[in-house]
Structure 1
Amino acid sequence: MEVGRIGFITMLWGRVLGVRIMNKAEVEIVKLSKDILEVKVKGEGHTLLNLLVDELNKDPRVTAAYRVEHPLLDVAFFMVKTDGSISPLNALKEVQERVIEKLESVKRQVLEQVSKA
């Protein structure tokens, strides 16, 4: 099932920095059930997926992982499995808010350091 084109990390950075970033990732949902989400991602790699997996795995209700098929191919697979008390999509929404907060914190710290220089 084709969901469309989104650039999650570029959207996050764009939101935090207040700019529009044109790079987009192509995301295809391979499997979606009440407790499992499997996604094929073209155009994003370790930077975004490692961040998402790290944040998702901090939640005891969630297990997440990703794999990059081959370093020369721009394709990765991202998996989220929950214990059923939360849907995989809701887990991602919660993580999105935490990631945005972290990026905004980094932005504030960078701006503070730049203003001191």
Structure 2
Amino acid sequence: MEIDVKKKNKNEMEIELIGEDHTLANLLKEELLSDSRVQIASYNKEHPELSNPVLHVKTKKEDPKEVIDEITEDLIKSYENLNQEFKEINK
């Protein structure tokens, strides 16, 4: 996956999630919306088969890149824990 920053300023950012679909974009959007520092989190995918989702994040005052970094790190840890739980089931 690649990321293309379409727009970035003090508290707002738009990034294109190249090669991704609604699955990742929606997961990121929902996690961002659950963070009290985030004012707006949404994404747009102009065409279901031909376009990449563009994630739009607006924070209250924090750097949106830092918030996205923290959210993605938390998601990675959650999925690593889930993966470990599944491995324990098979033992």
TM-score by length of 2: 0.89
SS in 2 for 1:75: coil
Distance 1:110 1:64 in 2: 31
Pairing partner for 1:56 from 16, 32, 39: 32
Q: What is the aligned residue count?
A: 90
Distance 1:108 1:33 in 2: 38
* C-alpha deviation, 1:74, in angstroms: 3.6
Identity of aligned residues (%): 34
TM-score by length of 1: 0.71
Which stretches in structure 2 are left out of the alignment for 5+ residues?
Answer: none
Per-residue CA deviation, residues 39-95 of structure 1 (Å, 9 max, x unaligned), is 1232011121111111111111102111111112141111110001x1100101110
Give the greater-gyration-radius structure (CA). 1
**Which 4+ stretches in 1 moved above 4 angstroms?**
none
Which stretches in structure 1 are left out of the alignment for 5+ residues?
Answer: 1-6, 8-24
1:105 aligns with 2:88: no
1:72 aligns with 2:31: no
Considering Cα pairs closer than 8 Å and 6+ residues apart, tell me whether 1 or 2 has the greater RCO.
2
